[in-house]
Amino acid sequence: MLSLYDISVPSTIRALEQLLSNLKKGEEWCKAQNLLETTLTEGKISDMLPLTRQVQFACDSAKGVLFRVGGEEEVKMEDNEKTFVELYERVEKVLGLLRGAKREKFVDANKDITVKLGPKEVQFNSLVYLQNFMLPNFYFHRTTAYLIMRAAGVEVGKSDFLGFETMTTSAATA
């Protein structure tokens, strides 16, 4: 039987690993084009927030599941990353937290969760939080980060987003 852990942590780990890989391609692209890395790290699509903020929000969504659903202590992070190296460090730190998550703590699908969204608070139970907020929000920011790089000209495609080269056909185990 799938648990709340199974529907959130393994896929989030995989997506963050691919984000890390995409960011590295972005840094390599900047170097190959002889561009400042801020070309991408401060890059935007339309009026959306820049790449750095998209990565920060994706990381925040990913680690949020640990304290909201998984019973872990909240780990605060400053939103001050400006360079690729700093973004790598943030993603790696969140990956470490996720890899350390304990499946047995993700048990209460009806646990009340409150998320502050601007001036208002939204109430969820754990399952609805994962299905209707955490995962969609995480993938929104992860996808936007990818699209900022792609729109700038970084050669990333669907296989880079999904990670075909590391994809397995069996369920992930932790």
Token digits for 24?
Answer: 């590295």
Distance CA 24, CA 21 (A): 5
Q: At 126, give phi and psi (nearest 5°).
A: -55, -45
Dihedral (Cα; 115, 80, 139, 96), 10-degree rounding: -90
Confidence of residue 159 (pLDDT cuts 50, 70, 90): confident
Contact 145/22 with Cβ under 8 angstroms?
A: yes
- For the cut 80, the answer to whether the pLDDT of residue 166 exceeds it is no
Structural domain contains residue 156: yes
- As beta bridge partners, residue 114 has 123
CB 94 within 8 A of CB 17: no
Domain for residue 44, yes or no? yes
Asked if the model's pLDDT at residue 25 lies above 60, the reply is: yes
Per-residue pLDDT of 38-72, as tens digits, reads 999 999 999 999 999 999 999 999 999 999 999 99
In a domain, residue 171? The reply is no
State the pLDDT at residue 174: 46
Tokens standing for residue 28: 């390599």
**Cβ atoms < 10 Å from Cβ of 133:** 18
Assigned domain for 62 exists: yes
For residue 171, give the amino acid letter. A
Question: How many structural domains does the chain have?
Answer: 1
Domain that holds residue 16: 9-161
Q: Does some domain include residue 166? A: no
Q: Residue 135 maps to which CATH number?
A: 1.20.120.450
- Residue 22 inside a domain? The answer is yes
Confidence of residue 108 (pLDDT cuts 50, 70, 90): confident
Q: Is residue 4 included in any domain, yes or no?
A: no
- Phi, psi dihedrals of residue 115, rounded to the nearest 5°: -120, 130
In a domain, 28, yes or no: yes
Reported as a single tens digit per residue, the pLDDT across 58-107 is: 999 999 999 999 999 999 999 999 999 999 999 999 999 999 999 999 98
- What's the mean per-residue pLDDT of the chain? 93
